[in-house]
Amino acid sequence: MSQRLEPSGRSPRRGLALALFLLGGLAVCAGLGVGAQGWTWPWTPGAAVPAEVWLELRLPRSAGAWLTGALLGLAGALGQALFRNPLADPYLLGSASGAGLGVAVGLVLAHGLTPSLVSPLWPWLPWGQGLLAFAGAWLSLMLALLWSGGLAHTPRLLLAGVVVGVILSALTSTLMLWVPQAWVGFQSFMLGTTQMLDLTSLAVLAAGLCVVLCLVVLDGPALDVLSLGEDTARSMGLPLARTRARLIVAMTLATSLAVSHTGLMAFVGLAAPHLARSLVRPPPSALPCWSLLTGGLLLVLADGLSRWWWSPLEWPVGVVTALIGGLYLLYRLGRESGGQS
């Protein structure tokens, strides 16, 4: 009888996963209609939007927002499962501060160069800043690993990540004080934006998500063992250092790709795993995939809302995600507190 009941127990989860994926697709399609005049369907007779507008501008923003949210949700789930901390987010090891330092260095170099040197480099400036942000995120991880003495001691690694983040943030603030005219560009990175996404960014984010998913599929089952505690995992023969190293690489790759393309999106990586747990109670090995779906849906909805709410003005997407994610976490906290009382 248990064998007969097993497929029926799995089917609701599969149906919910499919529903989340389809809702994300519908939200991406709805984003194609959000423009300076509010929301209109791109193919409305008499008000049709040129194909290059929705294909080269709106599609990369909407689909790229879903991919970015998926990467952040997946990274947040890995962080919470790896460190067994529900407050962990993708920026736990200082990657946000490292990416911010990379962007600050790029902006300072751009504003410090003479106009004759900047003008030939201007088309490549967004890509250069993205690469510097990507490199800065990995630099923070390397420094955290160096100062913590490796992966053997988890609390020491977390403390090193916090310290690295503080130091790199201080260096970033120093650069902004040194070249204050770079602050406007840096503010866009800090608040989070999808304006810089294009078709090339879309391809990079999709390829990166596939790579991270492969790493999670290979090492994800180890999260179930790690959830029992490090001593238990070690007694079961799990190679802790190698497994944790590969999963931290996957987490950092997802975070650095997202941050280098859209800046800092607050609360997505923290709220997405909690939203996934509220919908279904997945085992730790399945949590990253569920958080991928909830994170993608959360960010694409926030992106559409940020462009539609005050059109033709546009809110920073990171502000919208902070409001949505923060209010949701407060709601969850209130429910749990009420249940305990």
What are the structural domain ranges in the chain? 49-340
pLDDT by residue (tens digit) across 21-33? 999 999 998 888 8
Q: Which residue would you say has higher pLDDT here, 123 or 80?
A: 80
Q: Count other C-beta atoms under 10 Å from residue 41's C-beta.
A: 13
pLDDT value of residue 21: 94
What secondary structure letter does DSSP report for 39?
Answer: E
Q: What is the mean pLDDT of the chain?
A: 82
| Sole residue written with tokens 């409001």 | 323
pLDDT value of residue 11: 67
Query: Mean of the pLDDT values across residues 262-282?
Result: 90
pLDDT value of residue 207: 94
pLDDT value of residue 2: 37
Confidence tier at 282 by pLDDT (50, 70, 90) = confident
Kindly tell me if the per-residue pLDDT of 211 is higher than 90: yes
- Please tell me which of 29-43, 77-91, 174-188 the model is most confident about, judged by mean pLDDT: 77-91
Q: Tell me which residue of 267, 276, 282, 269 sits closest to 322, measured CA to CA.
A: 267
Q: How many CA atoms lie within 13 A of 203 on its CB side?
A: 3
Q: What percent of the chain has pLDDT over 70?
A: 83
Confidence tier at 8 by pLDDT (50, 70, 90) = very low
pLDDT value of residue 268: 92
pLDDT value of residue 333: 78
| Sole residue written with tokens 């997202």 | 258
Query: Mean of the pLDDT values across residues 158-187?
Result: 87
Q: Which residue would you say has higher pLDDT here, 207 or 315?
A: 207
Rounded CA separation 141/90 (Å) = 12
- Its sign, for the CA torsion 228, 234, 237, 239, is positive
| φ, ψ (nearest 5 deg) of residue 268 | -65, -50
What global pTM score does this model have? 0.86
| Sole residue written with tokens 């969850």 | 332
What secondary structure letter does DSSP report for 198?
Answer: -
- Residue 284, SS3? coil
CATH topology of domain 49-340: ABC transporter involved in vitamin B12 uptake, BtuC (1.10.3470)
CB 161 within 8 A of CB 93: yes
pLDDT by residue (tens digit) across 43-102? 666 556 676 777 788 889 999 999 999 999 999 999 998 888 888 888 888 888 998 888
The CA distances from residue 184 to 104, 248, 324, in Å, are 11, 32, 25
- Residue 128, SS3? helix
Confidence tier at 338 by pLDDT (50, 70, 90) = low
Alpha helix stretches (DSSP H) within 84-94: none
The CA distances from residue 36 to 33, 197, 314, in Å, are 10, 17, 9
Rounded CA separation 57/50 (Å) = 11
- Please tell me which of 33-37, 222-226, 291-295, 308-312 the model is most confident about, judged by mean pLDDT: 291-295
